[in-house]
Amino acid sequence: MAKITASVYTSHIPAIGVAIDQDKTDEPYWQPLFKGYEFSRQWMQDNTPDAIFLVYNDHATAFSLEIIPTFAIGAAAEFVPADEGWGARPVPKVVGHPELASHIAQSVIQDDFDLTIVNKMEVDHGLTVPLSLMFGQPDAWPCTIVPFAVNVVQYPVPSGQRCFQLGQAIRRALESYDEPLKVQVWGTGGMSHQLQGRRAGLINKEFDQAFLDRLIAEPADLAKMPHIDYVREAGSEGIELVMWLVARGAMSDICGGPAIAVKHRFYHVPASNTAVGHLILENN
Ligand code: DHB
Ligand code: FE
């Protein structure tokens, strides 16, 4: 059976990808941010999984207003990084895991979550920037990746509660996969930020730190927070944080298992227009 070993949470700011790709990580603006991920890159080397179930959001790259899947699972053998305006990032293609993705789709759909199955999909900074932060610049990503896109761009978007419950269903799916894979579940996006309108540039450090505290210690309660609170407190793009609840829902302690261990916590402001949050939680 597959086993969820850990969950990883991180922001996905596109300018971080550009800083990595253009060798700017030692510049004074970026240095403190990348320092916060030094532990993480070593931890990833020591704890490389067989597969990552990577929860992220597409930013009108693979999808548009023509088709808006609430939850889309990538079941292809590979996913190509897309051109987002700065040019396609010079990062490796993403190698998928069609068998695992198909099994998760079967299990989760039978468990009453209606997923869209996507067999061809380009991936944007929502997925590639977290990979770069955690793995650096390898010639190939060191494990397979099942991309899982959540609509947090066009309302109506799924609730935190729905995301948290979906994480629990993903755990059940992985635990019924009959290959002994080590799997990490990643929740990406966030933290507080707003990219447009009168409140553009909004950052709320207090909200962000409380979100991290509650994600660790009282996720079921945090999952009840309505959309309006995210948008009011964390800005319009702060709603990306509901994706972190999918990863948290997949952890062992949620369904009566042993307590989780907080391996790493990092918070930094600013990076581009965004507050950066990062957590590594291990299942004991
Ligand atoms: C920024 C942040 C995002 O989450 C995003 O998708 C695009 C841009 C930013 O801070 O610039
Ligand atoms: Fe984003």
Task: Give me ligand 2 centre to Cα 151, in Å.
Answer: 11
Q: What is the pLDDT of residue 103?
A: 98
Main-chain dihedrals φ then ψ at residue 215, nearest 5 degrees: -60, -40
Vertex 267 angle, CA 197 and 52, to 5° = 95
CATH code at 51?
3.40.830.10
Please give the order of strands across the beta sheet that includes 71-74: 116-118, 71-74, 144-150, 51-56, 182-188, 3-10, 274-283, 260-271
Tell me which residue range forms the domain holding 265.
3-282
Per-position pLDDT tens, the chain of length 284: 999 999 999 999 999 999 999 999 999 999 999 999 999 999 999 999 999 999 999 999 999 999 999 999 999 999 999 988 888 899 999 999 999 999 999 999 999 999 999 999 999 999 999 999 999 999 999 999 999 999 999 999 999 999 999 999 999 999 999 999 999 999 999 999 999 999 999 999 999 999 999 999 999 999 999 999 999 999 999 999 999 999 999 999 999 999 999 999 999 999 999 999 999 999 98
Residue 52 CA to ligand 2 center (angstroms) comes to: 20
Positive or negative torsion for Cα 155, 160, 162, 166: positive
- Give pLDDT, residue 84: 82
Catalytic residue, chosen from 193, 264, 268, 278, is 193
pTM of the model: 0.98
The closest-lying atom of ligand 1 relative to the alpha carbon of residue 15 is 11
The pLDDT value recorded for residue 225 is: 98
Residue ranges lining ligand 1, Cβ < 6 Å: 12-15, 59, 193, 195, 237, 272-274
Q: How do beta strands 3-10 and 116-118 pair?
A: unpaired
The structural domain count of the chain equals: 1
User: What is the distance in A from the centroid of ligand 2 to the CA of 271?
Assistant: 12
Q: What's the pLDDT at 83?
A: 83
